[in-house]
Amino acid sequence: MNISELAQKVAAGDRRALARAITLVESARADHRAQALELADALRSTQRQALRIGLSGTPGVGKSTFIESFGLMLVAQGLRVAVLAVDPSSARSGGSILGDKTRMERLSREPMAFIRPSPSRTHLGGVARRTREAVALCEAAGFDVVLIETVGVGQSETVVAELSDLFILLLAPAGGDELQGVKRGIMEMADIILVNKADGDLKAAATRTRADYSGALRLLRRRPQDPPDFPKALAVSALEDEGLANAWEEMQSLTEWRREHGHWDRRRAVQARHWFEEEVRQGLLAALTASPDIRAAMQATGDAVARGEATPDSAAAKVLAQMAARN
Amino acid sequence: MNISELAQKVAAGDRRALARAITLVESARADHRAQALELADALRSTQRQALRIGLSGTPGVGKSTFIESFGLMLVAQGLRVAVLAVDPSSARSGGSILGDKTRMERLSREPMAFIRPSPSRTHLGGVARRTREAVALCEAAGFDVVLIETVGVGQSETVVAELSDLFILLLAPAGGDELQGVKRGIMEMADIILVNKADGDLKAAATRTRADYSGALRLLRRRPQDPPDFPKALAVSALEDEGLANAWEEMQSLTEWRREHGHWDRRRAVQARHWFEEEVRQGLLAALTASPDIRAAMQATGDAVARGEATPDSAAAKVLAQMAARN
């Protein structure tokens, strides 16, 4: 593959080239990895930045409907919108939250939109790297907004929050007056909570739920990167297109405030450093599986430790010394 | 320090030697690490095994009172009891859950008991290694039961469960009829749930809470390492010494069953392999901070990445290549 040609096409906004480029960054093959790095380096010079919006919500909250309605609204405003999925569960199930293209049928037909399903069979660390690189490709391709979607499973929210400029939590109206078991840590990451399905029979429940979360958010410590009235909770109906324009205005005003106060750049810098350090850590650990010799030594020594023939710590010290000597 | 002499004294059950040995494994100094490994290797030949009981409970559930009453009961039965604390919060606060010796005044005066506070200023990984090695020292010193105590914070329960033969969750009676926000993952690790404070005004609430947890435990999938009636929930009063003998009988019968069915040995083998692998991983990552050169390179490259002069991934690839070449 001619990488500089691919880079030019991506930078020109060619969606097919973008799809090929993402396939390249998803590959685990060593030659593909080298090409992916070359591509990323070539595209860095575009210096383009999209608004990266992380969106988390458990199945059933209407995430697809929301992304479709919200995406179509942005496209109607002349914005180019990319949607990427982070779905660690697909690593287990082989399924994919965005695999079913019919989920966002209208948005996927828009020339200004680009939808990319989550790849299957990748571990969370791999998903994070692939998504980070895919986001950078979408930015280089000139997209204005990149929506990074995740289901609320395990650590995927943290990964998405560390990739995003804004983190949005999408919830359904609660049955009673209790909060929906949303983990405190996830609430603390949210910039805006959207209570969806504020329509029909659920409208009153959605209003109540929104008020509950507004109250809960006020109890959280204020973060320096927020204006006084954030984080906030809003009620929306993706089905009836209610409140989406308002939600987008809130996202923009929060973004403006952060840009003016230097938080935007600072957050991007912190995230870039974080991912660099994480990538080095993952690279060091990859040494454990890279060579068949080391894999075999780990297995044999692990067996001996399991049989009680050596303590975990002295066995580990010996393996580490062998690895250092081998290099 | 003469390590073989120290090993002999520890193996003879000398508590002062044991305390010195634990201080040695808590040290981060390279020469101390080497001596700690030598000591562990020397003591492996004792082949002694204690019953390792992990005990988790948030502040306020009466953990100290429980350990004191339970420990005194075991001592009265002629058993030697060691108590170790895993307290990752002490890494932040500088405090220590077992720092206050008066917490278990009577037990600490027993010649058959040994109580060791959690060291301050260690990260969770360091706490895990230190506790694992301290447990092994207590076993070599001939203790029959090693209680490993933790507060219910973050990942410390997982660490303790992966160090233990039995994992006990200590709870207080709930106010209403709801479960106390115990995370499902922690309930799934528990072999026995003990609802403490089944005395005085709280007795009825404790009985109700025990029934609630019994019901919740029945909903969990049965684990192959359990007899049909486990995990189970029991009500106890550490203050009035009620139910402790019964709890101990249940622990013994579960242990017996697991020994007979091979689960005990299998669990120990799996744990040993896990800690070996974890120790190798930690050792590889330690390369990032071991040399001032590498620390400086990480800092400088991280700065460049934060300024946007390189992508996280290509910068990481370069640093990894440099580290490999340097070895």
What single DSSP character describes residue A51?
Answer: E
Q: Do B312 and A132 touch (CB under 8 A)?
A: yes
The shortest C-alpha distance from A159 to chain B (Å) reads: 15
Predicted pLDDT at A28: 82
Q: Do A312 and B37 touch (CB under 8 A)?
A: no
Count the Cβ atoms, other than its own, within 10 Å of residue B259: 12
Query: Which domains are seen in chain A, by residue range?
Result: 1-45 (1.20.5.170), 48-261 (3.40.50.300), 276-326 (no CATH)
Name the one residue in this structure whose structure tokens are 């660490």: B159
Helix, strand, or coil (residue B242): strand
Contacts of B302 in chain A (CB under 8 A): 273, 276-277
Disruptive mutation site among A276, A277, A294, A307 for chain B (greatest number of B CBs within 10 Å): A276
> In this structure, what token pair is assigned to residue A272?
């870039």
Q: From first to last of its 327 residues, what are the pLDDT tens digits of chain A?
A: 799 999 999 999 999 999 999 999 988 888 998 999 999 999 988 999 999 999 998 778 899 999 999 999 999 999 999 999 876 654 444 444 444 556 788 999 999 999 998 776 555 567 788 899 999 999 999 999 999 998 765 678 888 999 999 999 999 997 654 455 667 778 888 999 999 999 999 999 999 999 988 988 888 878 888 998 999 999 999 999 999 999 999 999 999 999 999 999 999 999 999 999 999 999 999 888 888 988 999 999 999 999 999 999 999 999 998 888 776
* B269 vs A285, A306, A310: nearest CB: A306
- Chain A residue with CA closest to B130: the answer is A313
Q: Are B160 and B44 in contact (CB under 8 A)?
A: no
Q: What is the residue-averaged pLDDT of chain B?
A: 88
Contacts of B130 in chain A (CB under 8 A): none
Dihedral angle, C-alpha B186, B191, B193, B194, nearest 10 °: -130
Q: Do A272 and B308 touch (CB under 8 A)?
A: yes
Disruptive mutation site among A45, A139, A158, A279 for chain B (greatest number of B CBs within 10 Å): A279
Q: Do A298 and B316 touch (CB under 8 A)?
A: no
Q: For residue A116, what is the enclosing H or E element?
A: strand A113-116
Contacts of B37 in chain A (CB under 8 A): 311, 313-314, 317
Contacts of A277 in chain B (CB under 8 A): 298, 302
Q: Are A112 and A79 in contact (CB under 8 A)?
A: yes
Q: What is the ipTM of this complex?
A: 0.83
- For A67, B111, B216, the CA distances from B188, given in Å and listed in that order, are 35, 36, 10
Name the one residue in this structure whose structure tokens are 């590959």: A27
